[in-house]
Amino acid sequence: MAAIEEPDEPAAEGRGGQRVARADGRPPAAVVLDLDGVLIEGEEVWDDVRRALVQERGGRWGPQAQAAMMGMSSPEWSRYMAEELGLPMAPAAISDEVVARVVARYAEELPLVDGAVEVVRALADRWPLGLASSANRPVIDLVLDRAGLSGCFRATVSSEEVARGKPAPDVYLAAAARLGVAPAACAAVEDSANGLRAAAAAGMRVVAVPNRRFPPPAELVEAADLVVAELRELTPEALERLGG
């Protein structure tokens, strides 16, 4: 689907405030989920860790810094922190330090989204699942292991493993390839502006669970094929309705 394409038919209301924008006659063959903001309340943790590092080392943290970095791969956001925020460290060292601090935070307490474990397990009973995340590989593996969800995902991809981070479609295309499913047959679950753009650019059917702290623009949410107010609403029945 195009990022801001108008539906051919009026939106249909579902249970729990769900809105289905349109359908192509077939339910998805696979589901690919984002991690931060969808399964884990991670954006705040990344925000806190990056902000603290910049302030400790004499950089310039601005109010838009976290939103600007959402969806970037680790090479991209570490370079942004060095060049735009004035952090006097090499990008590789920035990435290593931020990831180490995030891993330490998650080892103490894992801020899972309410219902995340139940939703993932229910979806995994119906579809092959992929994960397409901007988080680094150590973070992905730690979160899924601690949540007891590693066995639910047939493919996981970090944007550090592809050429470009979100909003480019690379991480979603890689996840679809590893699942062996055409991107157009996948549903992608996203919360952020760059994530929604990436999923749409990959040609997937887009499910929006809008991030409450860093809400995506209304036009991106309206362009999604399915909108749910919270993750618990993302039931197999809701995704089946993407098939009309």
In this prediction, residue 243 carries a pLDDT of 74
pLDDT at 1 over 50: no
In this prediction, residue 214 carries a pLDDT of 85
pLDDT at 218 over 80: yes
Write 61-69 long-range contacts (CB < 8 A, 24+). 61/85, 66/214, 67/214
Q: Name residue 112's beta-bridge partners.
A: 40
Architecture of the structural domain at 43-108: Orthogonal Bundle (1.10)
pLDDT at 9 over 80: no
Where do the domains of the chain lie? 12-41+111-243, 43-108
Q: Is pLDDT larger for residue 22 or for residue 2?
A: 22
Report the side by side order of strands in the sheet with 205-208.
Answer: 12-13, 19-20, 226-227, 205-208, 186-190, 30-33, 129-133, 153-158
Cβ atoms within 10 Å, residue 19: 17
Per-residue pLDDT tens over the stretch 219-232: 999 999 999 999 99
Question: And the tokens for 7?
Answer: 């539906």
Per-residue pLDDT tens over the stretch 16-62: 345 444 445 689 999 999 999 999 998 889 999 999 999 999 999 98
pLDDT band of residue 239 (cuts 50, 70, 90) is: very high
pLDDT at 11 over 80: no
Entry pTM: 0.84
- Give the domain 12-41+111-243 fold: Rossmann fold (3.40.50)
Closest CA to 39 of 139, 185, 184, 186: 139
Backbone torsions φ then ψ of 135, nearest 5 degrees: -70, 155
Cβ atoms within 10 Å, residue 54: 21
Question: Can you point out the beta strands (E) in the chain?
Answer: 12-13, 19-20, 30-33, 129-133, 153-158, 186-190, 205-208, 226-227
pLDDT at 15 over 50: no
Burial of residue 142 (CB within 10 Å: 0-12, 13-18, 19+) is middle
Q: Is pLDDT larger for residue 158 or for residue 73?
A: 158
In this prediction, residue 207 carries a pLDDT of 98
